[in-house]
Amino acid sequence: MRRGFTLIEVLVALMILASIGGTFLFFFKTGLNAQADSDEFFAALNAGRMELEELRATPWSELRASPHISLVPVAYDLYQVRYTYNWHPGRKPIEIVTLRSKY
């Protein structure tokens, strides 16, 4: 009786290892892509928050709408301030909304 593995057994073992390795690499790459998207999203979100903080510190007489900022009257002296930022092409833009009074 011979000892060792046949060529078929070795090839089957290599195919099983290759499929497990390919699956692992697929999930690893997917995780890295999700992390990159998450980092980009939160960087854009923090940029929007900083922009709104700057708007909060800006006197009312100097406050103006821009391509990213819209001012919508809600009541007599109350305005809705909406900051919209397209953080990634093909993705839904980030919108941060707050209220601002003239006084």
**Distances 46 to 39, 82, 89, 96 between C-alpha atoms, Å:** 11, 15, 18, 10
Strands 94-101 and 78-85 come out as antiparallel
| Structure confidence at residue 99 as a pLDDT band (50, 70, 90) | confident
- Looking at residue 70, its amino acid is S
pLDDT tens-digit readout, 56-80 = 888 877 877 788 888 888 988 888 8
In this predicted structure, what is the pLDDT of residue 1?
Answer: 64
pTM for the full predicted model: 0.60
Mean pLDDT of the chain: 86
